[in-house]
């Protein structure tokens, strides 16, 4: 009900009060309803059964052309000025309105179905002291709901309690951010004690005050008051709608935001009606044509007044004027009559044809098997039918990273153990062997606890472990012990690892498969099965990871009593702490790391150290003192960690692949050749984004320089941007070159365009979120734009959804180019809606981006086919269609103009009325549709082979104002030929039998036949790609013309409908004369021959890239199908650290409360406090450590 009230309030222009703060009370619906918060129903549809007809007609008549044709129809109903029947306009207008209405209704019905499917999902709601199953749409703010494992989160909830220890829940946020690794949330201790007791939860009356609804996915501020005590709330206490509960038996939550107020829906943004640049140009051209039409009609009206004054009185003897009509009134009526006669300069069939062409080209995308992804049974989908040709004009692509460029799957790819490299396959000659689907994998059947999904190809590593090699055993023992992974074993032998980062999960899984299975942990111990033997290690200390240390260590005691420190981290950090005896091994391992880095893999170095018992006891005492110190705790702990992590012995290194989607580097390379710039906008930390940049070949070491902008002040950001710009282009002016102009309908829209600046060499720019926030300020945004546009690659890290949209809007506003945004999560929705074209990646990553997109498919690599093939063809076809359509209608109309000088400006038509009606609907409709649906300059393989063919669309070369003027002049010339050649040929001419042939009807037939032959031959000249359908449409249309003409001009039709078919016998009397056919041939020759000559000369002197390519195609064989080989990435750069988990997680692992299951009902909680920062409600999981530090610096 709330959404309906809101809808009508907006419709009536009533402004609702902006919510400043949300205040709610648990289990108190009357209190919460008094604030009129939105319920949990969502509405994405535009119409209902009552509003569809008026709203849809209102929208359609908002288009200038439709209003014009309605006005024209009303004019035709006035007998005094109408020289054409009303049905010549009414039939096409009704057809256009009906087709558009049916399409809009179909789209809205699908939206209603989607809304109903979501709104009718069921969830358990606590009402009147009992759990009831309710529809999602009936859930209200302040309700307490119960979620179970694998259920979608119903609304934005404050987590109250869960089945897991420490009140934790695991959620998958793929629908929000495209990431499939699990996030951890935790309830307050005070609410966690409620457990799953329905009575306790029903008696819960906490009050929450928090921020109003907003679209910030990673931030939440609020307080909860319970029993007079206030508790701080942050993002780690909140479950967002769109998440999925995983590996958690149950949890209870308090609804804070419902339906349209949830962060998921707030990120959906406002749906804007997108129009292509050709649409905007057509509006301007149509307006210009209206002005041209008005001027022509004015000239005709003046001509009529002059003629009536000087010549018309002679005819009044046998053609008397109607009562009260003089020359002035006749001139006025003549103006409106010519508005009707000359209206074909903008025929309504233009808009019908455009819709059909766009629909047809959309079906090509839907039906394209080469964009179908069989693994997820996902075809490509054109979710809108109005933007196809814009796909052929893209200049900037804004892409998300996780789930869009990458699969968000980490795989243990290679490793180096004691100076020996594993993971690379070699043949007998020592040459590398490419790994394919047929390559034999290592057999892990001997290990009952192995993960069946794990794949490794180097059999020598498995044999080495089985043989009991001590270095190999120590290597995998380290991977099984030194981590923060959580194990879960629901059934005997079925292990599941809950890793904060997928990289850690990949390493522990590798150790598991090679016989070192991490089975369970307690705060004091870690249980590992080593080659089938159960070994329990005592966990003495965890030297936790942070962003400065870039390493993590554990100290364990083996069952034999041996103390060992295991350490893993960034290779540069580990190498600095190695024992001098490892120098030779370090050099060999370093060469392996360089090789791994060259392949874009994420690397870690592993080391260990035996510890003396007496030293360990002393160190533990000092560690306890430091950890309990009130002052300088962090510094003292760091000193102790540094002391312990010295003189390490190197074990080897790991190489983990952050798997890109198939074909991503090749796609980016192809798009770059097409002069399309790609910017990556990601919420990931800088290092992760850089790694992917190198993997995708977007960042390369052969670039002149890669600029890093990471300043924390506006002045610092400005200085870094200016320094980068001056290095790239020292001679550039300090102030940007901005061209100001006017565009749009009535030239009312002011535009500012920042000119491109030439740069020698390739550069890249990497900028993080807090620096970007300063750079997007009004005073710095032009500096950011100038610097970024000079670079070949731009990577923005740690960006919020709002910043993604702001970057897109900045480029749209100041570059006046067509943009495309591609993403897969709810955090990409605002960017997708802000760009001219929005593309959603569908599949395992969630559907929120797809629902807001214009086009969708399952893999990033399909983008090159969407743009380079479908987009380019659609643009080419639409431009050809518009040029030809204006050409054929200008010819048709201008002949009327010349005829006016011979008929006393009386608005008499040259052609038969039926020819006027059928010209655009029948005689010329199908041939141009055939051209616009099937034509292609080169096929798809050549389009991939030469991406440079895409560039004319970016420059809008095929249809612009100049092309329109050329079309106008060409039409004017052809119309002069088509009027005066038949007129001169028929003047004072007789038939073979001596009878007169120069009557009006014979001349009309000759003129219209010549016109139809000329426009069809012109279309044949414009057609590059002939199919049987094209042939049938062209020759079939000519045949249909002669068949209809002979039928309508027959005696039978005249006798049945005398007034409707006055041209009786004209066809058979005229078309049997040789001089008539000779005149048609001569007119055609004079119209077509200059076109052929001009095109021949232009191809010889100024060939376009299409001309060159079509010439090349004739000579060369068809290129082979492109294979998706993984390119060799040459790089010496290594990733600093593969992990993305947060500081403080090590404390959680050793927390005394960590493994306490929820106490049974009626029992008191054993521990009420803990030293864990997680239990103390400090931020720990959802945000990475770099972000926490950045915020601290910002303060």
Q: Which residues are catalytic?
A: 400
| Distance of alpha carbon 716 from alpha carbon 462, whole angstroms | 53
Helices (H), 1023-1160: 1028-1048, 1051-1056, 1066-1070, 1074-1101, 1105-1115, 1145-1149
- 88-to-91, 415, 505, 1058 alpha-carbon distances in Å: 6, 77, 71, 19
Least Cα distance to 511 among 544, 541, 535 occurs for 535
Q: Tell me the two tokens of residue 163.
A: 């089945």
- Asked whether the beta carbons of 856 and 839 are under 8 A apart, the reply is yes
- Asked whether the beta carbons of 663 and 670 are under 8 A apart, the reply is no
What is 454-518 written as a DSSP string?
Answer: -----HHHHHHHHTT-HHHHHHHHHHHHSS--EEEEEETTEEEEE-SSHHHHHHHHHHHHTTEEE
| Distance of alpha carbon 1050 from alpha carbon 1044, whole angstroms | 10
Least Cα distance to 389 among 763, 37, 837, 710 occurs for 837
Burial class (CB in 10 A: 0-12, 13-18, 19+), 874: buried
| Distance of alpha carbon 544 from alpha carbon 532, whole angstroms | 29
Give the three-class secondary structure for 1010. Answer: helix
Taking the CA atoms of 1002, 1004, 1006 and 1012 in sequence, report the sign of the dihedral they define: negative
Sheet holding 855-857, edge to edge: 381-382, 855-857, 837-841, 818-823, 394-399, 677-681, 793-796, 763-767, 705-709
Q: Phi and psi of 991, rounded to 5°? A: -75, 175
- Asked whether the beta carbons of 169 and 151 are under 8 A apart, the reply is no
| Distance of alpha carbon 671 from alpha carbon 538, whole angstroms | 55
| Distance of alpha carbon 303 from alpha carbon 338, whole angstroms | 12
Q: What is the 3-state secondary structure (H, E, C) of 70-112?
A: HHHHHHHCCCCCCCCCCHHHHHHHHHHHHHHHHHHHHHHHHHH
What's the distance, Cα to Cα, between the start and end of the chain in Å?
43
Least Cα distance to 204 among 219, 183, 186, 190 occurs for 190
Least Cα distance to 126 among 151, 152, 147, 145 occurs for 145
Least Cα distance to 341 among 378, 307, 300 occurs for 300
- Asked whether the beta carbons of 406 and 661 are under 8 A apart, the reply is yes
The residue written with tokens 């970007």 in the block is 772
Q: 602: part of which helix (H) or strand (E)? A: strand 602-611
- Asked whether the beta carbons of 335 and 305 are under 8 A apart, the reply is no
Q: CA-based Rg of the chain, rounded to a whole angstrom?
A: 37
């Amino acid at each position: 009900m709330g959404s309906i009230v809101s809808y009508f309030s907006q419709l009536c222009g009533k402004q609702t009060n902006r919510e400043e703060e949300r205040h709610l009370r648990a289990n108190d619906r009357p209190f919460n309803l008094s604030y009129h918060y939105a319920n949990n129903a969502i509405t994405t549809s535009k119409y209902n059964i009552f509003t569809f007809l008026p709203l849809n007609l209102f929208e359609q008549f908002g288009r200038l052309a439709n209003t014009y044709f309605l006005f024209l129809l009303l004019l035709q109903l006035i007998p005094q000025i109408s020289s054409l029947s009303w049905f010549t306009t009414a039939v096409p207008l009704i057809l256009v309105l009906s087709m558009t209405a049916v399409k809009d209704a179909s789209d809205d019905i699908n939206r209603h179905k989607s809304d109903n499917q979501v709104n009718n999902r069921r969830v358990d709601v606590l009402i009147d002291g009992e759990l009831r199953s309710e529809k999602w749409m009936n859930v209200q703010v302040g309700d307490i709901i119960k979620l179970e494992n694998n259920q979608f989160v119903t609304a934005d909830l404050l987590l109250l309690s869960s089945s897991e220890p420490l009140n934790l829940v695991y959620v998958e946020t793929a629908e929000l951010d495209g990431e499939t690794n699990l996030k951890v949330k935790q309830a307050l201790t005070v609410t966690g004690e409620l457990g799953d007791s329905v009575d306790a939860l029903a008696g819960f009356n906490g009050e929450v005050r928090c921020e109003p609804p907003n679209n910030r996915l990673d931030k939440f501020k609020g307080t909860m008051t319970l029993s007079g005590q206030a508790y701080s709330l942050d993002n780690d206490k909140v479950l967002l709608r769109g998440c999925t509960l995983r590996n958690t038996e149950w949890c209870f939550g308090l609804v804070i935001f419902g339906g349209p107020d949830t962060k998921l829906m707030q990120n959906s943004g406002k749906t804007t009606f997108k129009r292509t640049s050709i649409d905007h140009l057509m509006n301007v051209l149509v307006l210009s044509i209206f002005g041209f039409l008005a001027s022509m009609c004015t000239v005709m009206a003046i001509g009529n007044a002059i003629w009536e004054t000087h010549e018309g009185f002679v005819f009044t003897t046998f053609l008397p004027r109607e009562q009260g009509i003089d020359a002035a009134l006749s001139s006025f009526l003549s103006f409106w009559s010519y508005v009707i006669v000359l209206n074909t300069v903008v025929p309504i069939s233009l808009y019908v044809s455009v819709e059909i062409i766009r629909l047809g080209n959309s079906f090509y995308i839907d039906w394209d098997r080469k964009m179908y992804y069989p693994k997820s049974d996902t075809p490509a989908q054109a979710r809108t039918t109005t933007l196809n040709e814009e796909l052929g004009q893209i200049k900037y692509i804004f892409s998300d990273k996780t789930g869009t460029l990458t699969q968000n799957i980490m795989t243990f790819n290679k490793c180096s153990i004691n100076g020996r490299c594993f993971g690379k396959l070699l043949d007998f000659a020592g040459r590398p062997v490419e790994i394919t689907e047929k390559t034999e994998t290592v057999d892990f059947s001997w290990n009952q606890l192995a993960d069946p999904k794990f794949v490794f190809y180097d059999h020598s590593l498995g044999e080495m472990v089985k043989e009991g090699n001590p270095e190999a055993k120590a290597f995998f023992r380290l991977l099984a012990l030194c981590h923060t992974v959580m194990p879960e074993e629901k059934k005997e032998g079925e292990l599941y690892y809950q890793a904060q980062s997928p990289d850690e999960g990949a390493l522990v899984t590798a150790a598991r498969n090679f016989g070192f299975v991490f089975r369970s942990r307690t705060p004091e111990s870690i249980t590992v099965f080593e080659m089938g033997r159960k070994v329990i290690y005592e966990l003495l200390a965890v030297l936790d990871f942070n962003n400065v240390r870039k390493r993590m260590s554990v100290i364990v005691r083996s069952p034999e009593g041996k103390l060992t420190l295991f350490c893993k981290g960034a290779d540069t950090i580990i190498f600095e702490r190695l024992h001098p005896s490892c120098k030779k091994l370090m050099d060999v391992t370093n060469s392996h790391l360089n090789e791994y880095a060259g392949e874009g893999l994420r690397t870690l170095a592993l080391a260990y150290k035996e510890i003396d018992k007496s030293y360990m006891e002393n160190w533990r005492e000092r560690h306890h003192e430091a950890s309990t110190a009130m002052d300088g705790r962090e510094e003292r702990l760091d000193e102790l960690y540094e002391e312990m992590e010295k003189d390490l012995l190197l074990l080897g290194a790991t190489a983990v692949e952050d798997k890109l989607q198939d074909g991503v580097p090749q796609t980016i390379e192809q798009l770059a050749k097409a002069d399309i710039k790609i910017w990556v906008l990601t919420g990931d930390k800088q290092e992760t984004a850089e790694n992917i940049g190198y993997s995708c070949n977007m960042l390369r070491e052969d670039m002149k320089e890669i600029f890093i902008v990471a300043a924390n002040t506006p002045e610092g950001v400005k200085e870094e941007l200016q320094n980068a710009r001056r290095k790239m282009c020292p001679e550039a002016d300090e102030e940007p070159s901005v061209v100001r102009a006017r565009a749009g309908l009535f030239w009312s829209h002011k535009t500012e365009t920042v000119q491109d600046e030439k740069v020698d060499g390739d550069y890249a720019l990497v900028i993080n979120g807090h620096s970007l926030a300063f750079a997007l300020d009004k005073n710095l945004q032009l500096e950011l734009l100038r610097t970024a546009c000079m670079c070949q690659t731009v990577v923005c890290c740690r960006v919020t959804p709002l910043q993604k949209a702001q970057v897109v809007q900045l480029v749209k506003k100041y570059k006046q180019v067509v943009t495309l945004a591609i993403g897969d999560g709810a955090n990409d929705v605002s960017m997708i809606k802000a760009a001219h074209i929005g593309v959603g990646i569908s599949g395992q990553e969630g559907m929120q981006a797809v629902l807001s997109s214009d086009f969708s498919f399952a893999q990033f690599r399909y983008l090159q086919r969407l743009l380079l093939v479908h987009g380019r063809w659609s643009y080419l076809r639409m431009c050809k269609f518009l040029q030809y359509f204006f050409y054929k209608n200008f010819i048709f109309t201008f002949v009327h103009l010349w005829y006016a000088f011979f008929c006393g400006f009386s608005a008499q038509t040259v052609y038969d009325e039926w020819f006027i009606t059928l010209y655009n609907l029948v005689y010329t409709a199908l041939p141009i549709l055939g051209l616009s649906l099937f034509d292609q300059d080169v096929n798809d393989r050549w389009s991939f082979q030469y991406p440079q063919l895409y560039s004319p669309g970016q420059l809008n070369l095929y249809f612009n104002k100049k092309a329109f003027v050329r079309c106008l002049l060409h039409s004017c010339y052809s119309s002069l030929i088509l009027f005066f050649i038949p007129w001169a040929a028929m003047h004072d001419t007789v038939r073979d039998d001596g009878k007169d042939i120069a009557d009006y009807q014979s001349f009309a037939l000759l003129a219209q036949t010549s016109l139809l032959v000329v426009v069809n031959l012109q279309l044949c000249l414009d057609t590059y790609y002939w199919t049987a359908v094209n042939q049938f449409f062209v020759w079939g249309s000519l045949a249909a013309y002669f068949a209809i003409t002979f039928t309508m001009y027959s005696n039978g039709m005249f006798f049945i409908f005398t007034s409707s078919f006055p041209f009786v016998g004209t066809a058979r009397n005229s078309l049997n004369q040789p001089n008539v056919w000779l005149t048609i041939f001569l007119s055609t020759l004079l119209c077509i021959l200059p076109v052929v000559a001009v095109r021949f000369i232009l191809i010889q002197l100024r060939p376009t890239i299409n001309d060159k390519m079509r010439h090349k195609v004739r000579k060369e064989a068809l290129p082979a199908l492109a294979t998706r080989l993984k390119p060799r990435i040459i790089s010496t750069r290594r990733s600093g650290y593969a992990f993305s988990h947060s500081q403080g997680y090590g404390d959680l692992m050793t927390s005394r409360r960590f493994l306490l299951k929820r106490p049974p009902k009626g029992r008191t909680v054993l521990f009420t406090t803990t030293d864990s920062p997680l239990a103390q409600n400090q931020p720990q999981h959802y945000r990475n450590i770099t972000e926490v530090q950045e915020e601290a610096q910002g303060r």
